[in-house]
């Protein structure tokens, strides 16, 4: 038994733990544990009341058993009893048990809350701290309901001890994170900001954490914290290493607090007050200078703490993105770290440089490190570091170095770890496409990708190469020749067969003149791969064959023979069989003219942004945009075996256009999609094209969409709160859309059938003129084809205090899910303001209420019974459950409310029709509140899957 | 989750960097003899300082137990929890000063000693 330094007498526990440790096998351990559990159970059940000490000991044993990974299903009550003990250790163990093994049993929660309440009121600081710890560790909604209004009071009360203040601040932070709606803002907020001036560094540390979190939602309430944070930071940075006594960590003054302050400052734009800004810049310079000083200690702790501050300072510099001098210095510093012997530093330097690469001021400086980074990609022993190196190469790529970077990545791919191959493939594909000067290079690169890492080449990648070849007639011949050569390899990847099949089917004629690649040779080459391929590929090849019949009449007999063979026409797979039968008939019945029309060359695809980019984003951010997922189940996306030339008989690129069609957004000519929201900001900044003005060529290349008028600078990504703002307008048409210190945007709108008119009122809140005021509407994703918005330009000068109005005429062409964006740019006192918001135009605006009788309703309800027609969501109420408010919201949503339809009078039933130009979608909805559980169940049935899902999403955010 | 993470971390070699991306979190780990300490942090959190956070916690344990070893932590797991609670709360750092954390713990221990009336060894055995 180890020497326990401080007195604690739970001998029984120690004996039990040694017993467990002495167990020779898993079985013996389980046996010992079961014995103990039986013992404890009988003690708890026994008639003899246990004293506090025994209870504590048994509860502690249970805890230990739980930590060993066994389930504990009793003892909660005893632990709760311990909470009300007035002996400290008993109380402490009770709280520990509750914190670790919390159970949402409502009966217990009430008792626990009661005990906590008593302790909070006890004025005994140790007890108060225990109670606060417990709240913070559990952080459940029930606790938030019980204590969220109490804790701010404790936090700012004059007589609260420092240690309690610290606990209260962090406890409040935790509650705010779990249930922000329950934490009341108020008069206390200003006093919290002033805790930044507190004498006690521990209190300041806790307070900064709290403020950093609070100010993200309410930046205006806390903006005074900027100058306080700067002065605090400056005091720390300039202090000697001994000034802060115990808060100095290995000769670094208060590293945690410094980092937290730097993080807090990243919530705000650069300070407007010149003096504050000057002081801050000075701090940042000091931090950069210190990095060059010789270390005060050889200990890794010293350098880690110092560098932690440095990296955070660099993040702030990148966040401001306005001090070229600091940015370049930061880049040089990171450059030094790239060659550091500490793996951790190399990793962080690569990561940090990735974000630097997207700043116009430091992009060139980052590029100078290309050789080091390539070297890292080749020689680093740790896959996570190599991954960072690959990310950085991707971020620093532009037209000048694309060929080098792509070829390095390709050669890395041959040995790359399986875990990151797919991502590298996507990156290579994107870079090759984005910076392609000649398309033969592009085609070569992609075919190389398939050759090297065929398994990791996802459908998006090979769809895309086909799309590009089809759209660029100068590369078609080259592509046909290259795939023909690639297919000569004895073993080639199935993806190569797919690309080869498709391209030869379209453009095989371009190389048919050469006897070495005559039509029959082409056909035999493809057909030699046929039997080894999956059903989807074989289906594609069958389509290629029928195209061959059209391109090369001399192959007709051979191909008909193949189609007629039992292995095709009687294939067990329905799709193959059907194709074989149909193509055979088509080739024998149709005249050459008809055949030529039906099997005409694929029309060019609408030029849109690459779907590969969307795929990469999805890969990078697992939690990222649900909006990306909207595209995932695009109807028809499953028929990928398709790519079926005959399916699109004429020139409309139907389902296959959707396949290639690019779930992502074509925002403003560049590759920075705005649709996916700010969640993906990181990912975007990986993409060099997101950096304004970096790659002037990007706009002209074949990626450009022309969806939005090209403006001198890229529009900002939508504000982080854009979705929230949008949600406010789902059920109402008028209100204030946006407001900051400079600008207020009001909105008034009306909708009828598939048309709408919206008035936007831009109010200049300052006394200074706004110049070059330009609001621009952009359409993320496929929205361009779904929604039509016409606007008139507004006067570029907005006088101080004035308001200008803009009218938008809206036409809904078909159902849509993404909201259109409005980007507002203007100059205010010389700085460019750039704001992107979501326009409050959601599908339900085109909802027309329909009254119907109960009988009709149920009949229609039953008609829409396919699983994909229904969308259902069960969710917790975020607002008080008031039936009148709910009614108003449903009416505001646009649906009719049908009385006496649902047998349960508490439920709401509604009906309506979504009016679009191309089609009308009937919608039925049912909302079932459960007041007891504070939950709702919402069910939507419409004739269109995407509509059901989208309306369900929209509406479920409203309650 | 713990099991999955354990395998990932244990598979890593000493020269590798101490950060790894795991689901949408980052895991920062540090090895002390045969003990691994892991922290899961969010994207924007500072990795290096998290590493030092682990170190500070180990220092606290060390100070409290006097040259801490694995057994101390196993046998006094509740103490290890209490120290952690004083140092971190709801995932945020509460106080970075070694002194103030230890002071809080010592105070608690004092309270404890006051509570504990001496018990006879026999009674202990009987209950064990």
Over 50: is that where the pLDDT of A719 sits?
Answer: yes
Across the interface, whether the CB atoms of B55 and A6 are under 8 A apart is answered no
Range of the structural domain that residue B28 is part of: 2-125
How many angstroms separate the CA atoms of A953 and A956, rounded?
Answer: 5
Over 50: is that where the pLDDT of A959 sits?
Answer: yes
8 Å CB contact between A761 and A805:
yes
A-chain residues within 8 Å CB-CB of B98?
246
8 Å CB contact between A612 and A430:
yes
A160 sits in which H/E element: none
**Residue whose token pair is 């939950």:** A935
How many angstroms separate the CA atoms of A70 and A101, rounded?
Answer: 12
- Residue A586 or A608, more confident: A586
Task: Write down the pLDDT at residue A309.
Answer: 94
Task: Write down the pLDDT at residue A242.
Answer: 66
For residue range A267-299, list pLDDT tens digits in order: 999 999 999 999 999 999 999 999 888 888 888
Task: Write down the pLDDT at residue A268.
Answer: 92
Over 50: is that where the pLDDT of A938 sits?
Answer: yes
A-chain residues within 8 Å CB-CB of B102?
none
Burial annotation A366-384 (CB, 10 A radius, 16+ → b, else e): bbebbebbbebbeebebbb
How many angstroms separate the CA atoms of A665 and A717, rounded?
Answer: 12
Any residues with CB less than 8 A from the CB of A858 and at least 6 apart, and which? A901
A-chain residues within 8 Å CB-CB of B17?
343-344, 346-347, 382, 384-385
- Residue A494 or A603, more confident: A494
Any residues with CB less than 8 A from the CB of A809 and at least 6 apart, and which? A755, A756, A757, A789, A790, A791
Domain of B67: which CATH number? 3.30.450.60
Query: Of A4, A16, A173, which is closest to B90 when you measure between CB atoms?
Result: A173
What confidence tier does A171 reach under pLDDT thresholds 50, 70, 90? Answer: very high
For residue range A631-671, list pLDDT tens digits in order: 333 333 333 333 333 333 333 333 333 333 333 333 333 33
Task: Write down the pLDDT at residue B35.
Answer: 84
A-chain residues within 8 Å CB-CB of B64?
5-6
For residue range A660-690, list pLDDT tens digits in order: 333 333 333 333 333 333 333 333 333 333 3
Query: Of A170, A312, A382, which is closest to B92 when you measure between CB atoms?
Result: A170
Mutate which: B72, B97, B114, vs A, most A CBs within 10 A: B97
Query: Of B17, B77, B127, which is closest to A64 when you measure between CB atoms?
Result: B77
pTM over 0.95: no
Across the interface, whether the CB atoms of B112 and A89 are under 8 A apart is answered yes
For residue range A196-246, list pLDDT tens digits in order: 988 888 899 999 999 999 998 888 888 889 999 999 999 998 887 666 778
> Has A394 been labeled as part of a binding site?
no
Over 70: is that where the pLDDT of A475 sits?
Answer: yes
B2: closest chain A residue by CA? A69
Mutate which: B4, B17, B106, B119, vs A, most A CBs within 10 A: B17
State how far residue B127 is from chain A, nearest Cα, in angstroms.
7
> Has A60 been labeled as part of a binding site?
yes
For residue range B52-94, list pLDDT tens digits in order: 999 999 998 888 888 888 888 888 888 888 888 888 887 788 8
- Which residues lie across from B30 on neighbouring strands? B37
A14: closest chain B residue by CA? B75
Query: Of B46, B79, B85, which is closest to A312 when you measure between CB atoms?
Result: B46
- What CA–CA distances, in Å, run from A732 to A277, A691, A892, A893, A894? 41, 37, 6, 7, 9
Over 50: is that where the pLDDT of A332 sits?
Answer: yes
If one counts the domains in chain B, the total is: 1
How many angstroms separate the CA atoms of A587 and A561, rounded?
Answer: 11
> Has A57 been labeled as part of a binding site?
yes
> Has A11 been labeled as part of a binding site?
yes
Residue A298 burial (10 A CB sphere; 0-12, 13-18, 19+)? exposed
How many angstroms separate the CA atoms of A327 and A318, rounded?
Answer: 7
Across the interface, whether the CB atoms of A384 and B16 are under 8 A apart is answered yes
Across the interface, whether the CB atoms of B116 and A347 are under 8 A apart is answered no
B-chain residues within 8 Å CB-CB of A88?
108, 111-112, 115
Across the interface, whether the CB atoms of A305 and B48 are under 8 A apart is answered yes
For residue range A728-765, list pLDDT tens digits in order: 888 888 888 888 888 888 888 888 888 888 888 888 88
Task: Write down the pLDDT at residue A104.
Answer: 60
State how far residue B107 is from chain A, nearest Cα, in angstroms.
9
Query: Of A2, A67, A96, which is closest to B72 when you measure between CB atoms?
Result: A2
> Has A12 been labeled as part of a binding site?
yes
- Of B96, B81, B61, B103, whose CA–CA distance to A134 is shortest? B81
A100-109, A125-134, A832-841: lowest mean pLDDT where?
A100-109
A15-24, A329-338, A340-349, A856-865: lowest mean pLDDT where?
A856-865
Across the interface, whether the CB atoms of B43 and A682 are under 8 A apart is answered yes
- Residue A4 or A165, more confident: A165
Q: Count of H helices and E strands in chain B? A: 6, 5
8 Å CB contact between A46 and B127:
no
What confidence tier does A947 reach under pLDDT thresholds 50, 70, 90? Answer: confident
A482-503 average pLDDT score: 88
- Of B73, B63, B3, whose CA–CA distance to B33 is shortest? B73
- The reply to whether ipTM tops 0.95 is no
8 Å CB contact between A724 and A739:
no
A103-115 average pLDDT score: 78
State how far residue A681 is from chain B, nearest Cα, in angstroms.
12
Percent of chain A with pLDDT over 70: 87
How many angstroms separate the CA atoms of A785 and A798, rounded?
Answer: 32
Any residues with CB less than 8 A from the CB of A937 and at least 6 apart, and which? A872, A873, A874, A927, A928, A930
Highest-pLDDT range among A271-275, A626-630, B93-97? A271-275
Over 70: is that where the pLDDT of B123 sits?
Answer: no
Over 60: is that where the pLDDT of A704 sits?
Answer: no
DSSP A711-749: -SSPPPPBPTTHHHHHHHTSS-S-EEEEE-SSEEEEEEE
Q: Share the mean pLDDT of chain A.
A: 80
Mutate which: B28, B49, B101, vs A, most A CBs within 10 A: B49
């Amino acid at each position: 038994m180890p020497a326990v330094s401080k007195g604690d007498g739970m001998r029984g526990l120690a004996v039990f733990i040694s017993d467990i440790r002495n167990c020779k096998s898993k079985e013996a351990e389980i046996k010992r544990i079961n014995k103990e559990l039986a013992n404890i159970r009988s003690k708890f059940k026994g008639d003899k009341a246990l004293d506090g000490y025994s209870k504590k000991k048994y509860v502690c044993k249970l805890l230990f058993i739980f930590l060993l990974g066994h389930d504990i299903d009793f003892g909660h009550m005893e632990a709760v009893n311990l909470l009300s003990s007035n002996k400290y250790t008993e109380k402490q163990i009770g709280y520990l048990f509750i914190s670790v093994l919390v159970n949402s049993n409502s009966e217990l929660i009430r008792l626990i809350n009661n005990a906590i309440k008593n302790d909070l009121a006890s004025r005994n600081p140790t007890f108060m701290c225990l109670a606060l710890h417990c709240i913070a560790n559990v952080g459940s909604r029930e606790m938030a309901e019980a204590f969220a209004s109490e804790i701010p009071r404790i936090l700012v009360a004059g007589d609260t001890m420092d240690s309690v203040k610290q606990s209260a601040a962090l406890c409040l932070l935790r509650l705010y994170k779990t249930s922000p709606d329950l934490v009341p803002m108020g008069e206390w907020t200003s006093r919290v900001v002033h805790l930044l001036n507190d004498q006690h560094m521990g209190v300041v540390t806790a307070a900064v954490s709290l403020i950093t979190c609070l100010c993200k939602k309410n930046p205006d309430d806390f903006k005074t914290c900027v100058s306080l944070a700067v002065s605090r930071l400056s005091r720390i940075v300039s202090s000697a290493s001994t000034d802060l006594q115990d808060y100095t960590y290995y000769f670094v003054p208060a590293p945690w607090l410094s980092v937290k302050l730097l993080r807090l400052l990243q919530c705000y734009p650069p300070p407007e007050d010149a003096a504050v800004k000057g002081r801050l810049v000075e701090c940042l310079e000091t931090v950069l200078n210190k990095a060059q000083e010789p270390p005060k200690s050889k200990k890794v702790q010293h350098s880690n703490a110092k560098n932690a501050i440095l990296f955070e300072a660099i993040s702030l510099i990148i966040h401001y993105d306005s001090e070229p001098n600091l940015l370049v210095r930061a880049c040089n510093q990171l450059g030094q770290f790239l060659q550091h012997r500490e793996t951790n530093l190399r990793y962080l330097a690569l990561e940090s440089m990735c974000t630097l690469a997207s700043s116009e001021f430091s992009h060139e400086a980052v590029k100078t490190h290309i050789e080091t980074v390539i070297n890292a990609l080749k020689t680093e022993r740790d896959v996570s570091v190599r991954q960072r190196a690959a990310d950085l190469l991707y971020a620093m790529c532009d037209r000048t170095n694309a060929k080098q970077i792509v070829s390095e990545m390709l050669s890395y791919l041959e040995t790359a770890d399986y875990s990151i191959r797919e991502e590298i493939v996507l990156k290579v594909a994107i870079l090759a496409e984005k910076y392609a000067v000649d398309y033969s290079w592009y085609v070569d690169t992609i075919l190389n990708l398939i050759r090297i890492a065929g398994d990791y080449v996802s459908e998006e990648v090979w769809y895309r190469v086909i799309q590009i070849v089809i759209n660029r007639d100068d590369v078609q011949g080259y592509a046909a020749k290259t795939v023909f050569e690639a297919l000569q390899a004895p073993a080639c990847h199935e993806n190569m067969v797919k690309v080869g099949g498709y391209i030869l089917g379209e453009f095989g004629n371009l190389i048919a003149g050469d006897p070495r690649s005559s039509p029959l040779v082409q056909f035999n080459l493809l057909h030699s791969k046929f039997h080894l391929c999956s059903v989807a590929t074989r289906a594609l090849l069958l389509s290629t064959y029928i195209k061959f019949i059209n391109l090369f009449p001399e192959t007709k007999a051979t191909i008909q023979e193949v189609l007629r063979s039992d292995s095709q026409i009687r294939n067990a797979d329905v799709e193959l069989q059907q194709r074989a039968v149909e193509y055979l008939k088509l080739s024998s019945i149709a005249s050459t003219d008809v055949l030529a029309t039906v099997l005409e060359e694929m029309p060019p695809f609408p030029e849109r942004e690459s779907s590969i980019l969307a795929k990469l984003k999805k890969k990078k951010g697992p939690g990222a945009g649900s909006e990306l997922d909207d595209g995932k189940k695009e109807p028809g996306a499953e028929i990928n075996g398709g790519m079926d030339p005959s399916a699109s008989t004429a020139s409309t690129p139907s389902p296959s256009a959707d396949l290639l069609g690019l779930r992502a957004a074509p925002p403003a000519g560049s590759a920075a999609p705005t649709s996916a929201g700010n969640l993906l900001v990181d990912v975007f900044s990986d993409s060099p094209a997101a950096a304004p003005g970096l790659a002037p060529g990007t706009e002209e290349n074949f990626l450009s969409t022309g969806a939005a008028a090209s403006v001198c600078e890229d529009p900002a990504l939508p504000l982080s709160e854009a979705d929230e703002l949008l949600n406010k307008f789902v059920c109402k048409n008028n209100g204030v859309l946006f407001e900051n210190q400079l600008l207020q945007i009001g909105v008034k709108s009306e909708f009828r059938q598939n048309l709408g008119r919206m008035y936007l009122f831009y109010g200049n809140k300052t006394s200074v003129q706004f110049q070059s005021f330009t609001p621009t509407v952009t359409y993320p994703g496929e929205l361009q084809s779904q929604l039509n918005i016409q606007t008139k330009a507004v006067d570029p000068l907005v006088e101080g205090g004035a308001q200008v109005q803009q009218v938008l005429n809206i036409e809904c062409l078909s159902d849509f899910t993404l909201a259109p964006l409005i980007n507002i740019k203007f100059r205010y006192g010389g700085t460019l303001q750039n704001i992107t918001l979501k326009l409050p135009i959601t599908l339900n605006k085109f909802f027309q209420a329909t009254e119907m009788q109960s009988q009709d309703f149920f009949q229609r309800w039953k008609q829409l019974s396919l699983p994909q027609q229904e969308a259902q969501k069960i969710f917790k109420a975020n607002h008080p459950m008031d039936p009148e408010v709910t009614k108003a919201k449903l009416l505001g949503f646009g649906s009719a409310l049908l009385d006496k339809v649902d047998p349960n009078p508490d439920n709401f039933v509604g009906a309506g029709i979504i009016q679009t130009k191309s089609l009308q979608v009937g919608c039925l909805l049912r909302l079932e509140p459960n007041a007891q559980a504070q939950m709702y169940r919402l069910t939507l049935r419409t004739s269109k899957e995407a509509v059901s899902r989208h309306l369900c999403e929209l509406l479920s955010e409203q309650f | 989750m713990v099991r999955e993470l354990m395998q990932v971390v244990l598979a890593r070699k000493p020269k590798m960097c101490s950060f790894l991306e795991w689901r949408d979190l980052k895991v920062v780990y540090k090895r002390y003899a045969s003990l691994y300490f892991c922290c899961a942090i969010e994207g924007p959190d500072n990795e290096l300082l998290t590493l030092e956070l682990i170190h500070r916690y180990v220092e606290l344990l060390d100070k409290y137990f006097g040259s801490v070893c694995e057994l101390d932590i196993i046998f006094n797991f509740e103490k290890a929890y209490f120290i952690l609670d004083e140092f971190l709360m709801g995932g945020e750092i509460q106080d970075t000063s070694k002194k103030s954390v230890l002071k809080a713990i010592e105070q608690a221990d004092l309270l404890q000693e006051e509570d504990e009336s001496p018990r006879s060894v026999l009674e202990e055995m009987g209950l064990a």
